[in-house]
Structure 1
Amino acid sequence: MSSPTGLDPVPLLQRLIRIDTTNPPGGEGACAELVRDVLAEVGVASRLLGSHPGRPNLVARFPGRGQAPPLLLHAHSDVVPVTGQTWTHPPFEGRLVDGHVWGRGAIDMKGGLAMMVAALLRLHTAGERPAGDVILAVVPDEEDGSRAGAGYLVREHPELFDGVRYAIGEEGGAGVELGGVRLHPIVVGEKRACWLRVTLRGPGGHGSRLSPPGTPMGQLAHVLSALTGARLPRHLTPAVDRMLAALAGALPDPLAGSVAALRAGRDDAPPAGLPQSEALLLDSLLRHTVNPTIVRTTEKINVLPAEITVDLDGRVLPGAYTKEDFLGEVRDRIGADAEITLLLEGSRVDPDRIPEPEFGAFYDTMADILRKADPDATPVPMVSPASTDARLFAQLGIRCYGWLPMKVPAGSDYRRLLHCADERIPVESVRFGTDCLTELLRTYPPATTRDSGG
C-alpha cells in the first residue's frame, strides 16, 4: 500500500504550484479541492464554503485530546501575478531543480500550506492526537483584500473557530542572517494598512504657456518631496522593544551596540553595518510609514492639469494607535489644509479585547522547537511591516503568530523573492519546516496558568 500523498510536503508543494491561482482573478477552487482530496485519502473530512463561485474556503478539524484549546493553522492559496517578470523556469510548473522547488507561491505561501498539511497528516496517520483540536483553514484572496477568504469566514462563520486561542500563519520563521548570526523570526504582531488619497487642486491651463502660481503640479512636487522616504515620529511598541533587545543580545559588536542604542533612543538612525533592506525594516518598525505610490492626472501632454491625486500606502503600528494619529503625522509633513481621503483602513484589533502580543508558554514552545532544530540559530520576536490574514482572525480573540520555519543556506535571502521572478524554496527548508510544525502539534501546551501576557 502506497503512502498517503501529503506525507512528503515536496511533491504536494509541486502539485499546488501547478494550479495557477493568480489573484486577480483567483480561481483557487482547484487548490482547495486538491487539499480536500489529500485529506480524504486518510479519512479526514473537510468543508468547502464561500460566497464567490470557484473561490471556496476549506476548513478541516483534526480531533485532539481535549487538554488544550483548539489551535488554528491558516494558509492562503492565492498568489500574486507574474506579469512582466522573466523567470528562469516556468512559474507554474513546480519544477525540482538544484534542490529547490521553483514556482510562484513556493514561499508565499503554498510552501507553508504544504508544510501544514504534511505535519497534520504525519500525526494523523501515526494515530497521534494533539493536546487540542487542530483546525486547518485554507483560504483564497489574501493577496487582494481577503473578502472571499478569511474575511468571509470571520464574518459569516465565526462559530467554526469557537474556543481557538492560538493561530499559526505566514510571515515568520524564514531564517535571516545578520552579522554572521542566523535568526529565526517569530511574528507576534503586524502593522495595518491605512491607505490615503491626497487631492491637489489649482489653476490649470495650456501647456504652451508659463504656468501660474499654485498649480497642482507645483503642489505635487511638495507632497512627493515631503513624503518620499519620510521618517515619521518614533514610537517604540512593547513587541518591537523586545525584538530589539533579542537582536542586541544575539548579534556581535559593534552591531549589537548599534541596535542597543536604537532601542534606547540614543540613536534614532538605522544601525550602521546592517544590509540596507534590514536597516530599513527596523526603521519601519519604530514608526508609522507612508509612501506615495500612484499619481493620477490628465493624459494630455499639452494640458496643465487642474487636479492631481496622489495615493499613499500608509502602515500603522499595532496597538492603540488610531487613523487620526496617523493622519495628524501626515498632515504635519504636507500641510494641515491638505485634502485627504481615507481609502482603506485595515482591521484594527480592539485593544480592550485583544491585548499586546503574548509571550507566554505558546511563544516559548515555538522558540524552544527552533533552538532544538537549529542550535546555531537564535529565535527572535518580530513585528511585520505588512499585514496578513492574522489581522482578521485576531478579531475573534485569537492570538496570531507568523511561524513557518525555514532553515535556509548561509548567506541566502529567500525573502527577497516574494512577489518576484524566480521564487523558489530549498527542498530541505520545506522538510525542516514540516518537522518543526509536527513537533509543535505534538507539544503545544495545554491551557494552564503558565500562559501570560507580555
Structure 2
Amino acid sequence: MTSSATHPTAPETTGPAAGPVALAQRLIRFETVNPPGAERACVLWIRDLLDAAGLETRLLSLDPERPNLIARLPGRGLAEPLLLHAHVDVVPVAGQHWTRPPFAADVVDGELWGRGAVDMKGHLAMMLAALLRLAGTGTPPAGDVILAVVPDEEAGSGTGARFLVERHPELFEGVRHAIGEDGGAELALGRRLRLHPVVVAEKRACWVRATVRGEPGHGSRAAGPGGAAHKLLRLLTAIDGGGLGTVMTPVVDRMLAELSAVLPDPYARHLAAFRADPDDAAALAVFEEGDARYLRSLVQHTVNATVVHGGTATNVLPARIDVDLDGRLLPGDFGREDFLARLRERAGCEMDLEVLVEGEQMPEPRLDGFYDRLAGILRAKDPQGVPFPMVTTASTDARVFPRLGIRCFGWFPMRHALDRSYRGRLHCPDERISVEALEFGADCFHELLAGHG
C-alpha cells in the first residue's frame, strides 16, 4: 500500500502536537504489548501523521495486524540515504507493580510515565518530531531520510525488521548507515559526568540447551558422580561467574581507553587497571555493582542458566536433566563452535548441547566519519557531556540490517540530571523519561537530519 495524500482526520504536524512529548504520549497510549503485538492502529496513526506532512509512505505486512511502515523524506540526491528504524511493540506489564497506569502517559514533575517511554516510543517520538520539523521547513535534506517503523522487535523481529530485510531489501538501496535504539546501554561510573553512549556493536545471542544424563535409581540412595544431578551441579558451578574467560576486543579496548581518559580519579585509575587486566577482581571495586557486572560482560562471552527441566518423581533419580543457557557472544569474528567448545571445556562434564537460537553475526564495528558526526552533535548540544563508543550486551533490530551492508548505530541522545537513570528503566515497572530528555533528543535528531550529508 502506498500513500502520500493528506488525510482529513490526520494528526497535526505543526505546533505542540508535533512536539516530542505529545507524540510520545500518543504513542504510549497505544497498547502494543508483545505478545500479541497488535501494532496496526499505532502504525496507521504514524502513517497518517507523516502523510499529512508530505512524506512518502508505504505499508508492508507479513501479518495484516502487524504492519511495517516505510516513510521517506526525499533529499536533494547529494548524499546517500540515511535509515532511522524504530519498533512500536513493547514488553508486557503483567506481574509488575506500577505507581501510575502504564498506558496513561502521564506527565508528572517533568517526567513522562508509561510502558515504552524509553523502549522505544520516546525514542521514536524524537525521530518523528525531527522529521516533521524538517519537512515543515520545505528545505530537503542532502540525502533521502528513510524511517522504518516496525513491529516485533521484542520477540525476534520475524514480522518486522527481518521480514523487511529478507523480502524487501530494495527499500534500503544505497543506505550505508542506520540509527536505532541503544539497547539500554548505560553506565554511571561514579555519576561524575553525564555520559552519552553511542552503541557501535552488540553482543549476539547463542541460546543453548544442555542435556546431562545419568543412571536412574531410587531417590533414597546416595547418587554417585555419574548422576545427572551431579553433572548439572558441575555445569552450574562452572558458569557461576557468568562467563567463559576474558577476551579484550578492539572496540571495548577503545571504549575503556576513552572513558578512563575523561573520568576523574579514582574511577579513571580503576577503569585503566581493568583495561590492563580484565581478570583483576579489585579493579572494579570502586564502581556500583550494576556497572561492574556490565563491564565484566563486555570482556567475555557470557552464559547464564535460565530454565531447568528434569526428573519424574521426588523419589526417583533423574536419567536426564535439561538446562537452558542464555549465551551472549562478543562482537567480532566469534562463531558458535568456539563458544560451545569453551563451554564444554569449562564445564568438564559429559553433556549434549543443542543450539536453540543463534543471533546474526554483526561486522566488526568501524568508527568512521558518521560516528564522529553523532559524537560531535552531542558535544555541541551538551558541552559538559561525554560521548563515547559503547558495546551493548543486548541485541536489537540492528543485528538484522547489516545483512544489507548497513552499519548500525544505537543513538538515543538524552540530557538529564546525573542522579537520574532512564535507560536502566526499560522493561521495568515505572518506566519513564524526562521531558527535557525528549526535547533534547529531538533537537539532536533535527541537527543530524538537517545537516545530513
Pick the aligned partner of 2:451 from 440, 443, 446.
443
Q: 1:174 to 1:431 in 2, by over 3 A?
A: farther
> Which position in structure 1 is the counterpart of 2:98?
87
> Which position in structure 2 is the counterpart of 1:394?
402
Instruction: Report the Cα distance in structure 2 between the residues aligned to 1:9 and 1:316, rounded to whole angstroms.
Output: 35
Output the TM-score relative to the length of structure 2. 0.93
Per-residue deviation at 1:172? Answer: 6.8
Q: 1:268 to 1:55 in 2, by over 3 A?
A: same
Asked if structure 1 preserves the Cα contact closer than 8 Å seen for 2:13 and 2:52, the reply is: no
> Which position in structure 2 is the counterpart of 1:52?
63
Pick the aligned partner of 2:80 from 36, 59, 69.
69
Asked if structure 2 preserves the Cα contact closer than 8 Å seen for 1:106 and 1:423, the reply is: yes
Per-residue CA deviation, residues 307-347 of structure 1 (Å, 9 max, x unaligned), is 11000000111111111111111111112632111111101
Asked if structure 1 preserves the Cα contact closer than 8 Å seen for 2:234 and 2:348, the reply is: no
Instruction: Report the Cα distance in structure 2 between the residues aligned to 1:213 and 1:178, rounded to whole angstroms.
Output: 44
Pick the aligned partner of 1:265 from 249, 267, 277.
277
Matched, 1:193 2:205: yes
Matched, 1:421 2:421: no
Q: Which residues in structure 2 correspond to 1:229-244 (within 5 Å)?
A: 229-244=241-256
Amino acid of the structure 2 residue aligned with 1:21: T
Instruction: Report the Cα distance in structure 2 between the residues aligned to 1:177 and 1:39, rounded to whole angstroms.
Output: 37
> Which position in structure 1 is the counterpart of 2:7?
none
Matched, 1:374 2:382: yes
Instruction: Report the Cα distance in structure 2 between the residues aligned to 1:58 and 1:206, rounded to whole angstroms.
Output: 60
What SS class does the counterpart of residue 437 from structure 1 fall into? helix
Pick the aligned partner of 2:227 from 215, 231, 239.
215
Matched, 1:114 2:122: no
> Which position in structure 2 is the counterpart of 1:451?
none
Specify every segment of 5 or more residues in structure 1 that has no aligned partner in the other structure, as ranges: 447-454
Matched, 1:412 2:432: no
Q: 1:114 to 1:34 in 2, by over 3 A?
A: same
> Which position in structure 1 is the counterpart of 2:332?
319
Pick the aligned partner of 1:128 from 139, 154, 157.
139
Instruction: Report the Cα distance in structure 1 between the residues aligned to 2:277 and 2:189, rounded to whole angstroms.
Output: 21
Asked if structure 1 preserves the Cα contact closer than 8 Å seen for 2:196 and 2:387, the reply is: yes
Q: 1:336 to 1:221 in 2, by over 3 A?
A: closer
Per-residue deviation at 1:291? Answer: 0.6
Amino acid of the structure 2 residue aligned with 1:106: A
Instruction: Report the Cα distance in structure 2 between the residues aligned to 1:231 and 1:313, rounded to whole angstroms.
Output: 11
Instruction: Report the Cα distance in structure 2 between the residues aligned to 1:424 and 1:300, rounded to whole angstroms.
Output: 46
Instruction: Report the Cα distance in structure 1 between the residues aligned to 2:186 and 2:210, rounded to whole angstroms.
Output: 39
Asked if structure 2 preserves the Cα contact closer than 8 Å seen for 1:6 and 1:38, the reply is: no
Per-residue CA deviation, residues 81-138 of structure 1 (Å, 9 max, x unaligned), is 1111010011111111221111111100011111111110100011122221010000
> Which position in structure 1 is the counterpart of 2:344?
331
Asked if structure 1 preserves the Cα contact closer than 8 Å seen for 2:224 and 2:230, the reply is: no
Instruction: Report the Cα distance in structure 2 between the residues aligned to 1:141 and 1:3, rounded to whole angstroms.
Output: 27
Instruction: Report the Cα distance in structure 2 between the residues aligned to 1:149 and 1:294, rounded to whole angstroms.
Output: 27
Instruction: Report the Cα distance in structure 1 between the residues aligned to 2:279 and 2:211, rounded to whole angstroms.
Output: 36
Asked if structure 2 preserves the Cα contact closer than 8 Å seen for 1:75 and 1:109, the reply is: yes
Per-residue deviation at 1:51? Answer: 0.8
Per-residue CA deviation, residues 194-252 of structure 1 (Å, 9 max, x unaligned), is 11010011122344554455222222211111112233222211211110111111111
Q: 1:319 to 1:3 in 2, by over 3 A?
A: closer
What SS class does the counterpart of residue 288 from structure 1 fall into? strand
Pick the aligned partner of 2:258 from 241, 246, 250.
246
Matched, 1:146 2:184: no
Matched, 1:182 2:194: yes
Amino acid of the structure 1 residue aligned with 2:302: T
Q: 1:138 to 1:147 in 2, by over 3 A?
A: same
> Which position in structure 1 is the counterpart of 2:51?
40
Instruction: Report the Cα distance in structure 2 between the residues aligned to 1:435 and 1:22, rounded to whole angstroms.
Output: 29
Specify every segment of 5 or more residues in structure 2 that has no aligned partner in the other structure, as ranges: 1-10
Per-residue deviation at 1:290? Answer: 0.6
Instruction: Report the Cα distance in structure 2 between the residues aligned to 1:115 and 1:291, rounded to whole angstroms.
Output: 35
Per-residue deviation at 1:174? Answer: 7.3
Per-residue deviation at 1:154? Answer: 0.5
Asked if structure 2 preserves the Cα contact closer than 8 Å seen for 1:173 and 1:184, the reply is: no
Amino acid of the structure 2 residue aligned with 1:377: G
Instruction: Report the Cα distance in structure 2 between the residues aligned to 1:210 and 1:283, rounded to whole angstroms.
Output: 38
Instruction: Report the Cα distance in structure 2 between the residues aligned to 1:83 and 1:426, rounded to whole angstroms.
Output: 24
Q: 1:148 to 1:311 in 2, by over 3 A?
A: same
Instruction: Report the Cα distance in structure 1 between the residues aligned to 2:299 and 2:406, rounded to whole angstroms.
Output: 25
What's the C-alpha RMSD, in Å, of the aligned pairs? 1.9
Instruction: Report the Cα distance in structure 2 between the residues aligned to 1:336 and 1:394, rounded to whole angstroms.
Output: 37
Q: 1:173 to 1:277 in 2, by over 3 A?
A: closer
> Which position in structure 2 is the counterpart of 1:301?
314
Matched, 1:159 2:170: yes
